[in-house]
Chains A and B, each alone.
Chain A
């Protein structure tokens, strides 16, 4: 069975009540705040639903513009320009508990990477890295496995040069 990934705008009447990723704060975000955040321009939300078009949402993520402060860059990533590194923030990333542990989150992340690559290659926005701000060790471990690098001081935040993904696409 395939999965469809779409914007919140293109699927506004999704069924959210049954969504449970195991984190009440993220559940609450999807149920009560997601439209407000999108309308205010804080983020763009992408939903994961069954390809058949069933209204229930099984996962979602958000993208926002962000930066990586110079002081948070590990020495080997210090840039010749003394400015913050422009980045895309994967702000929320969650999948329903019924699908956790089955590798489905990889598909959700694949959609995020695909859109990020398109944004970069179509020169819609300029950025050099992806950024995530994790809430716990489990989430941090997930991103570390993807190759994300922890910030120098704030170890809960991590980044990945976008060219790591683009290069992998070209191989």
Chain B
């Protein structure tokens, strides 16, 4: 009887360890937390994120007002100038 109980406890521990190993650890801005995502959902999320990453590298076209604002200094823009120096416009 004792042997049987011991065997059941060991099996349960193995199952528990297996379940823990399946979980995914992710670092979120609010701190280190554990989040579980099924593999297929995670892949789907990453695919969506790769697509949206392009909006940072290739953002939507500038608005008309932004174009006018950039046009104000475009011809005088000098990449080697000091960022905090005086500027005349």
Q: Out of A84, A118, A124, A163, which one reaches B56, CB within 8 Å? A: A163
- B89 near A80: Cβ-Cβ < 8 Å: no
Closest Cβ–Cβ distance, residue B22 to chain A (whole Å): 20
Q: Out of A70, A83, A147, which one reaches B62, CB within 8 Å? A: A147
Evaluate whether A168 and B70 lie within 8 angstroms (CB atoms) in the complex, with A3-B89, A4-B88, A77-B52 already known.
yes
Q: Out of A6, A83, A118, A119, which one reaches B86, CB within 8 Å? A: A6
A-side interface size class: 35 or more
- A113 near B69: Cβ-Cβ < 8 Å: yes
Q: Give bound CA distance, A76 to B52, whole Å.
A: 5
Evaluate whether A110 and B83 lie within 8 angstroms (CB atoms) in the complex, with A80-B50, A117-B77, A128-B56 already known.
no
B-side interface size class: 35 or more
Please name all residues of chain A whose beta carbon is closer than 8 Å to the beta carbon of B60 when the two chains form the complex: 147, 164
Please name all residues of chain A whose beta carbon is closer than 8 Å to the beta carbon of B72 when the two chains form the complex: 106-107, 110
Q: Does A114 contact B (CB under 8 A)?
A: yes
- A113 near B27: Cβ-Cβ < 8 Å: no
Q: Does A139 contact B (CB under 8 A)?
A: no
Q: Which B residues from 56 to 86 make CB contacts under 8 A with A? A: 56-60, 62-63, 65-70, 72-74, 77, 79, 81-84, 86
- B46 near A146: Cβ-Cβ < 8 Å: no
Q: Give bound CA distance, A25 to B68, whole Å.
A: 29
Q: Does A97 contact B (CB under 8 A)?
A: no
Please name all residues of chain A whose beta carbon is closer than 8 Å to the beta carbon of B46 when the two chains form the complex: 80
- A115 near B67: Cβ-Cβ < 8 Å: no
Q: Does A91 contact B (CB under 8 A)?
A: no
Closest Cβ–Cβ distance, residue A115 to chain B (whole Å): 5
A111-B89, A118-B81 provided; 10 other pairs, C-beta below 8 A?
A76-B55, A77-B56, A113-B69, A118-B79, A119-B83, A147-B66, A163-B58, A164-B66, A167-B59, A169-B74
**Complex A-B: 9 CB contacts under 8 Å:** A2-B89, A4-B87, A76-B55, A79-B53, A83-B29, A114-B73, A124-B83, A165-B62, A168-B70
